[in-house]
Amino acid sequence: MPLTAALFRAFRKALPSMSQTERVALEAGTVWIEADLFRGKPNFARLMALPKPTLTLEEQAFLANEVEQACAMVDDWQIIHQTHDMPPEAWQFIKDKGFLGMIIPKAYGGLGFSAYGHSEVIAKLSTRSSPLAVSVMVPNSLGPAELLMHYGTEEQKNRYLPRLAKGLEIPAFALTSPWAGSDAAAIPDSGVVCKGQWQGQEVVGMKVSWHKRYITLAPVCTMLGLAFRLYDPDRLLGGAADLGITCALVPRDHPGVQIGRRHIALHNYFMNGPTEGHEVFMPLDFIIGGPKMAGQGWRMLMECLSAGRAISLPSANAGVSQLVARYVGGYARVRSQFNTPIARFEGIEEAMARIAGYTYMNDAVRTLSAQAIDLGERPSVVSAIAKYHVTERARALVNDGMDIVGGKGICLGPQNIMGVVYQQMPVSITVEGANILTRSLILFGQGAIRCHPYVLKEMQAAQDPDLDRGQRNFGQAFWRHVGYTLVNGARATWHGWTRGIFATANAPVAPVFAPQVRRLHWYAAAFAYLADLVMLSLGGSLKRKEKISARLGDILSLLFVANCVIKKYESEGRRADHAAVAQWALEDCLHKTGAAFGGVLANFPNRPLAFGLRLALFPWGLGQRPPSDALGRDAAHSLTQPGETRDALTRSCFLPRDAQEPLAALEQALLATIACELMDAKIRAAEKAGRFKGVPRGNVRDLPGLAHAMGIVSDEEAQALARRDAMRDRVIHVDDFAFAIRGHGIESPTDAAADNERVGALPGVTQSGQALGSATLFAAPSDAGIPRKVA
């Protein structure tokens, strides 16, 4: 066909150049339910048919015992400001109990946990300590164990996996270099195949030079996974001169390996640091998978990346979200201003609604993402969505939490939970693919190629060196693509003009979600049609239109997140007490989806086409309002009332048993505050009636005593109010420290005994030991001093 031939030539010319590494990255992994959304047909029957994820008895016991014990062993304040590492007994415990080998099969001595079980462990650990969670998370994410399991030789598996499972080896994986961060495929680290001495014999090996940074666990690792580009200029392996990216496993004590220095990631003292080596000779057997896998490292990494990215950071940030929701919800009920719990202020309510909704959303996304791994998927697009949206929503709700706790949050100390979480939050945004890059280049860029039924086939046909075969395959894919686009356009226009009121789910969905389900069908159809026309109109230049691509990625992502919310609500039995939070989360997704559509159309370069698309898809306007104030009020209240609802929304939280711990103290104060609310109401009524008029008093805290003296409250009520006040004081207490300057022989005088007596009189303040390190550090309020210069 002349027309097909002409289109084929034009397509080949317009198709942007693509390197082999780009091609591998785009084609890696599998597509899952996100493909239904990209094609404009949400498949609720398929979604609802997915089984509810469950834990095995072994996984349940591990969470209830070993995970609880591990959490109780660490204290972030001590790690951050004193020891700069987890206690030795905590390190030994996580090694001995198999935390570092959760993903390793039982046949090799590992725990063999499901992805969901793995996710649950990371979520709970993250509610206690970031260094603890990261130290467990990384060995079970992309790294030596994962690569060995999929690509290692039998000898490598039998040698290393049992030792990794038992914590006898600590792994790290070095990918990022100073000159290739997000552009990991451009790593300059290189190796050259050559002959050299190994164990007294001349063998064919490789001399490798590398300079890596940001490598988690590198300072303490015993086995270093290493990615580098391998060259074979003398063709000693019989192949090409440039073999490509290769992954090797190098013992820490191998001659030439330089390792041990540390980075400090915003005072988040998990082990992280640089490593380098210069012309380090190593045998080919160090290559993961042996010599036959030389040059296959990028494919190995891309195929395994989705599993770790779908679990690690989404689980950790879902856990952090639950910690913030539980702490801030309780704090807002305990803390009063103007004789009113601040939870009742509408400004606080608005922020609390976001915290509740985003917490629910994050748990829904990380659960469904982990389930995809258990179902055998390698969901490259879903994992990117999960990483980006869970971390961004966690950042937003942490900011809201800081606004609510106010001054309590900005004064660091052993009683401040929020300050540490806030300080460490940017780490999650940056690692495993910086969020700006993920949103701008990956979500839609990879989604369009992997999820679209024809684009990848057209690209493969255009790049086929056999032009006749390429043209034939291109023609088949292209004309089907045309028909697909026309059908999508008709459906999208119908939904746009009818506002989706005739769309129905193809499976039973909770009636409370019926309006949102109809809008999801409308938006998905509109997205499928819009995406096709954007790609057709912009062609290869779309790669450079990052803002347009980012907004299209937002739409695809938010449609997926909305599906996660619906699935969570259905899987949990349509709990009536969760309906407000789930509905808030769903309406927030749809509101932001509408805004993203508006952003694409308002900034689309082809203005006549943009006008036509708006007329076809949204003739009556985008129209999705944000969640209502009433719905937000109900969502916010779910976090301020103790009981099953709050416990279920924050079920991953580690709850300390020691009443001196800030979260435990808050839980006690919350119960005491609620128990006294009727008594407070009685006192306020007496005050309004003028019962205290003319009675001398110091401040509002004297009212319970006056009320008792005047017979307004009973002896028992007065005691309850006094207990409540003491507990509330402990919760709202802000840490302060004695002033001391040490260094250069100058020390400010201070009365250590008097200072310790004063601080010790305040409930809930822990005592601690000596600060270590080489910078200005803060230690807990003993030893007379707090800011100190340690030589």
List active site positions: 432
Let me know the angle formed at the C-alpha of 139 by 137 and 144, rounded to the nearest 5 degrees: 150
Q: Which residues contact 151 (CB under 8 A, 6 or more apart)?
A: 288, 289, 293, 296, 300
- The pair of three-digit structure tokens given for residue 136, joined into one six-digit string: 């467990």
Nearest to 124 by CA among 386, 374, 393, 322: 322
The gap between the terminal CA atoms of the chain, to the nearest Å, is 80
- Decide: helix, strand or coil at residue 782: coil
- Tally helices (H) and strands (E) across the chain: 32, 13
E-assigned strand segments in 201-271:
201-216, 223-231, 242-251, 258-259
Rounded CA gap, 387 and 365, in Å? 9
CA quadruple 257, 263, 269, 270: dihedral, nearest 10: -40
Burial class (CB in 10 A: 0-12, 13-18, 19+), 696: exposed
Nearest to 237 by CA among 288, 203, 269, 280: 203
- The pair of three-digit structure tokens given for residue 405, joined into one six-digit string: 């706790």
- The pair of three-digit structure tokens given for residue 192, joined into one six-digit string: 């050259």
Rounded CA gap, 360 and 295, in Å? 43
- Pairing label, strands 258-259, 201-216: unpaired
Let me know the angle formed at the C-alpha of 573 by 571 and 576, rounded to the nearest 5 degrees: 130
C-alpha atoms less than 13 angstroms from C-alpha of 575 in its C-beta half-sphere: 18
The H or E element containing residue 297 is helix 297-334
C-alpha atoms less than 13 angstroms from C-alpha of 178 in its C-beta half-sphere: 6
Q: How far is Cα of residue 427 from the mean position of the Cα atoms in its chain? A: 10
Nearest to 217 by CA among 131, 345, 145: 131
The total number of residues written for the chain in this structure: 791
Q: How far is Cα of residue 207 from the mean position of the Cα atoms in its chain? A: 37
Determine the longest span between alpha carbons in the chain, in angstroms: 100
- Decide: helix, strand or coil at residue 548: helix
Q: Which residues contact 621 (CB under 8 A, 6 or more apart)?
A: none
Whether residue 322 contacts residue 123, with contact meaning beta carbons closer than 8 Å, is answered with: yes
DSSP letters for 65-103: IIIHHHHHT--HHHIIIIISS--HHHHHHHHHTTGGGTT
Whether residue 115 contacts residue 306, with contact meaning beta carbons closer than 8 Å, is answered with: no
DSSP code of residue 497: H
Whether residue 614 contacts residue 496, with contact meaning beta carbons closer than 8 Å, is answered with: no
Rounded CA gap, 632 and 118, in Å? 32
Rounded CA gap, 446 and 438, in Å? 10
Q: Which residue has the tokens 């739409």?
A: 555
Rounded CA gap, 188 and 257, in Å? 17
Rounded CA gap, 101 and 584, in Å? 38
CA quadruple 237, 241, 245, 248: dihedral, nearest 10: 30
- Pairing label, strands 171-174, 223-231: parallel
- The pair of three-digit structure tokens given for residue 764, joined into one six-digit string: 């809930």
CA separation (Å) from 580 to 354, 449, 647?
12, 36, 16
